[in-house]
Amino acid sequence: MQSKMPKRSASTGNINRRSQAAPIHRVHSETALSRQRTEAEPIQQQSRKNSSQRGQSNLLAKISVNSQESRTYRDSDVEVNPPAIIVRQGEETHSRRDVVTRMLDRIMRLLLNPAIKEPQTEKKVKPKDKFAIKTPHLAAVKLGKDIHIAGNSGDKRVRELHQKEGLNRVLVLVEKLEHGAGDAGRYEKDFRKLEMLLQARYHQGEDISDELNQIKVVLEGHLLKWHQVDKKESDKGSVHGEMALHGPMLNHAKNNPRDKSAPKAPIPVAGVKRDCLFCQWAHAILNEHVYADLGYEISTAGTHGVPFPNWKAPQELMENNNALIAFKERLQDLNHDGTLWTMDEAGKVTLDGHAEKINNSHDPYESESDVE
């Protein structure tokens, strides 16, 4: 069975050509909302100026925000960009992720691989029991030795059958070498790399790291910790998968507080997609108002810049008054030309008016490497 991954695009304001020997350049985000409106453009201009001073050229060519042209990048081409509240509707960003997070990315993609949804070799069952994951997104985070995973709540949700059988079906395909793409595409690479992890020969044949080995142990023991499985929303909203992970992430941060004067420890969130616009803002706001005091910073693969009606805020944002005010104020900036975005008391965002169509790719960047 063939599957076709959507083509990905990139914003040259966030991805720059970098040499393999160059250190990671961290682009610090300005999260104070009071400065966002007046400093957003100068910050971007300064970023371009700094890149020019370093003698770096834009990657491959100038790419428009809505470009659908497929691109593949080396990790050294991608800068570290923390979630930022200054990101505007339709603006794309990418951010560098470590080897462990990339492995979690591909495991989430394989769980959504169309080739494993309804195997033709199995006897057909009642529609309610068909193995078809409706959720458009799965997100994951590794906290200590545990891997937490969540899909969107609401109508497009993960059901108990997926939780019980999804990983097993992926591992069976890997064991039988029945790689799912058939077109040597991204799924094919994902299956091959997962196979290498399970055989302890991932990362160019080097010794497997402790963290990667922990992922291997979790997979082989079927020990994934799922969240909001079969969770409906009474108000028809949807808590996106990465938002549902703030519960375990905040518990982890509170149970392992760090010295505020030390550099913030990143908590990388993996998944099938980059953040939507609202998830990107929520991550940035929670970083400023919640995680900073505990010595942590949530990081993601970036954002595709698309806002979604019926997006629902996580409780961690709703319970922090400063964070809630910051999000609502940022939401007001989307209101123009008869468009009205509002948030109700339950945290659901609704749209009154016409939503601008944005054709950005939702995918994280793809590494050129065949083995890491």
> Which pLDDT band, with edges at 50, 70 and 90, does 28 fall under?
very low
Q: Report yes or no: 300 and 270 within 8 Å, Cβ to Cβ.
A: no
* Tokens describing residue 87: 């990101």
The CA distance from 7 to 287, in Å, is 30
The CA distance from 269 to 247, in Å, is 13
pLDDT at 199: 87
The CA distance from 134 to 140, in Å, is 17
pLDDT at 225: 97
> Which pLDDT band, with edges at 50, 70 and 90, does 246 fall under?
very high
124 vs 314, more confident: 314
- Please state the rounded mean pLDDT for residues 136-152: 96
Distances (CA, A) of 94 to 8, 109, 159, 280, 360: 11, 18, 30, 12, 12
> Which pLDDT band, with edges at 50, 70 and 90, does 26 fall under?
very low
Per residue in 183-210, pLDDT (tens digit) is: 557 888 888 889 989 988 786 555 668 8
The CA distance from 208 to 226, in Å, is 25
Length of the chain counted residue by residue: 372
pLDDT at 114: 67
Tell if the pTM clears 0.95, that is, is over it. Answer: no
Question: 29 pLDDT exceeds 80?
Answer: no
The CA distance from 340 to 320, in Å, is 24
| HSE-CB for 136 with a 13 A CA cutoff | 13
Question: 27 pLDDT exceeds 70?
Answer: no
Per residue in 338-352, pLDDT (tens digit) is: 889 999 999 999 999
Question: 74 pLDDT exceeds 90?
Answer: no
54 vs 342, more confident: 342
Q: Report yes or no: 216 and 200 within 8 Å, Cβ to Cβ.
A: yes
For the ranges 23-37, 43-57, 94-108, 268-282, the one whose mean pLDDT is highest = 268-282
> Which pLDDT band, with edges at 50, 70 and 90, does 112 fall under?
confident
- Please state the rounded mean pLDDT for residues 117-125: 57
pLDDT at 8: 35
Distances (CA, A) of 323 to 121, 265, 278, 284, 329: 50, 20, 13, 10, 10
